[in-house]
Amino acid sequence: MSNTDPKLPYAITLDPGTSLANHTGSWRTFMPVYRDALPPCNNACPAGENIQGWLYHAEEGNYQAAWNVLVQDNPMPAIMGRVCYHPCESACNRKDLDEAVAVHAVERFLGDEALKQGWMPEATHADTGKRVLVVGAGPSGLSAAYHLRRLGHAVTIREAGPMAGGMMRFGIPKYRLPRDILDGEIARIVNFGVTLELNQKVEDIPAAFESEGFDAVFIAVGAHLAKRIDIPAHAAGRILDAASVLHDMETSPEPLQLGRRVIVYGGGNTAMDVARTAKRLGAEEAMIVYRRSRTEMPAHDFEATEAEQEGVLIHWLRTIKHIDETTFTVEKMEIDANGRPQATGEFETLEADTLIMALGQDVDTSFLQSVPGVKIARDGVVDVDEHMMTGYTGLFAGGDMVPSERTVTVAVGHGKKAAHHIDAWLKGQTYVKPAKHPLAAFDKLNTWYYDDAPQLVQPQLDIIRRQTSFDEVIGDLDESTALFEARRCLSCGNCFECDNCYGVCPDNAVKKLGPGKRFEFLYDFCKGCGLCAAECPCGAIDMIPEAS
């Protein structure tokens, strides 16, 4: 009926809102559906962090909630926020708009906040009664231990060295990773219920199973054997290796004496760190000799830049041909069409009293040679299957010692992955990773809705102190800047409740469910115009053909 009041003029006067009886949903040929797509940052994170997920809470200023989400995947945000090379940021869609979100800076802020406030991760599983041995307290071992503990297993870490941390302590210098931070996060893992045994080099793996009764073993012993090459030398001066230098930095009670003029040979992160360390130790000249050019170097560009800022001189495209006391004869190189360095036959000389080799490390696999089934791959690394298990049943491995990129983040990721596989294996199951959502690509975003907000720059230590002390170079974001940075997240592929769909629907066919509950389509009325999908800033709505 047009109106229910019989006094009203028939047909031309109508009761309000009566069109609700007309279900325009029948017009639809395409229907909108909310989807959750995989943000590129999450996709790129080797530790499998749900970056967008924790940024979501950080955006609201709810840092503890953010941290709780973060530590579901990574138990060391304060460390990670400092040393991770953040592939997430290289993948971040925002870089195509202005600059990537400084994920690492927010992560670091959260990590520091947790240490300050003493936040503890929540235990998620009841005790299983299973015992797992973790060999090596580097990031991979620590991560595995933490995750296994979360899953309810009793975990013991055995570490050969006097302190936990692996290369985070014996590689990465203090000025990039202050030790109180490192110590704080390791202590939290230990306090979480993990047994850490130091100065316990594990030599006999089968014994751990058989005589000690561990149900599973995860090894992550890293790669600590410095690679060497032979350089023809007439009474060579002092020749050191980078790994030892950095190691000694940590353990030596006396400050190291490296000499007035130091040449570091290599172009990786280690080379950069050791050259910068030399500078800080008072070398008047800290030089890097590297056989290729800046474009080919394995170190990250920012590391070379920071080294140069601090006064490290990098000699690109040079190989050391000959050493005569303090005189180094170097040959100029050229990059050929294949990107390989080729000798040119032109020579120069450099003067130095110390040479530090930074040519990479190999894995010490000696204690594994005798373990049945364990295969050592060509590069001297240990082979694992897709469940991170070696050829020896119940023995798993990860981190620098297995074939992969050698970073803290990958190591942490391996630790988590291995923990899941070990957990499943202990239960007689196989761990299947939840299927990935489709990737939230930049072209699905409607970037109009985001304001221009370039990345915030973290403060840097002044140059004099950088050259003379081991104080941390890169500073913290404070609360407000961390909040700003978190809010730069575009929330690619996942609804962040901007209300756009609710607002732009000409048919009011979107229902708002309230904070945190997102929205719902009213398919009785949705005509399928697609405006909601087109105007969703983050591409969280798909238009799919209507089932006929």
Ligand X SMILES: Cc1cc2nc3c(=O)[nH]c(=O)nc-3n(C[C@H](O)[C@H](O)[C@H](O)COP(=O)(O)OP(=O)(O)OC[C@H]3O[C@@H](n4cnc5c(N)ncnc54)[C@H](O)[C@@H]3O)c2cc1C
Kindly list the residues in this chain that would bind ligand SF4 in the complex (CB under 6 A). Answer: 32, 505, 507, 509-510, 521, 526-532
The interface mask with ligand X, positions 245-274, x = CB under 6 A, is -x----------------------xx--x-
Q: Rule CB under 6 A: which of 508-537 touch ligand X?
A: none
| Of 80, 132, 509, 540, the one binding another protein by CB under 8 A | 509
Asked whether position 301 contacts ligand X by CB under 6 A, the answer is no
Number of residues that bind ligand X (CB under 6 A): 37
At closest approach, how far in Å is the CB of 43 from another protein?
20
SS3 297: coil
From 327-335, 379-387, 400-408, 482-490, give the range in contact with ligand X by CB under 6 A. Answer: 400-408
What does the block give as tokens for 532?
Answer: 């909601």
Q: How far from 516 is each of 60, 69, 283, 513, 531, CA to CA, in Å? A: 12, 16, 57, 8, 23
Residue pair 59/487 in contact by the 8 Å Cβ criterion: yes
Residue among 21 and 464 whose Cβ is closer to ligand SF4: 21
Asked whether position 99 contacts another protein by CB under 8 A, the answer is no
Helix (H) or strand (E) segment spanning residue 234: strand 233-234
Q: Can you name the residues that pair with 512 across neighbouring β-strands? A: 519
Asked whether position 514 contacts another protein by CB under 8 A, the answer is yes
At closest approach, how far in Å is the CB of 186 from ligand X?
11
Residue among 167 and 320 whose Cβ is closer to ligand X: 167
Q: In whole angstroms, what is the distance from residue 359 CA to residue 341 CA? A: 16
437: DSSP letter? P
From 2-10, 114-122, 139-147, 275-283, give the range in contact with ligand X by CB under 6 A. Answer: 139-147
Asked whether position 34 contacts ligand X by CB under 6 A, the answer is no
Residue among 160 and 533 whose Cβ is closer to another protein: 533
Residue among 44 and 522 whose Cβ is closer to another protein: 522
Residue among 152 and 298 whose Cβ is closer to ligand X: 298
Residue that has been written with the tokens 């975003």 in this structure: 445
Residue type, 339: G
CA angle 439, 445, 450 (to 5 degrees): 130
What does the block give as tokens for 505?
Answer: 């629907």
Residue pair 264/278 in contact by the 8 Å Cβ criterion: yes
Residue among 220 and 541 whose Cβ is closer to ligand X: 220
| Of 409, 455, 491, 494, the one binding ligand X by CB under 6 A | 409
Residue 174: CB partners within 8 Å, gap ≥ 6?
249, 470, 472
Asked whether position 251 contacts another protein by CB under 8 A, the answer is no
For strand 285-289 and strand 313-315, is the pairing parallel, antiparallel, or unpaired?
Answer: parallel
Residue pair 344/332 in contact by the 8 Å Cβ criterion: yes
Report the partner that residue 510 touches, choosing among ligand SF4, another protein, ligand X, none (CB closer than 5 to 8 A by kind).
ligand SF4
At closest approach, how far in Å is the CB of 530 from another protein?
3
| Of 60, 99, 215, 364, the one binding another protein by CB under 8 A | 60
Asked whether position 407 contacts ligand X by CB under 6 A, the answer is yes
Residue pair 412/397 in contact by the 8 Å Cβ criterion: no
Torsion angles phi and psi, residue 132, rounded to 5: -125, 135
Residue that has been written with the tokens 């979360």 in this structure: 150
Cβ neighbours, 10 Å, residue 374: 19
Residues at the site binding ligand X, with contacts judged by CB under 6 A? 83-85, 135-141, 158-161, 166-168, 171-172, 201-202, 220-222, 246, 269-270, 273, 367, 399-401, 406-409, 411
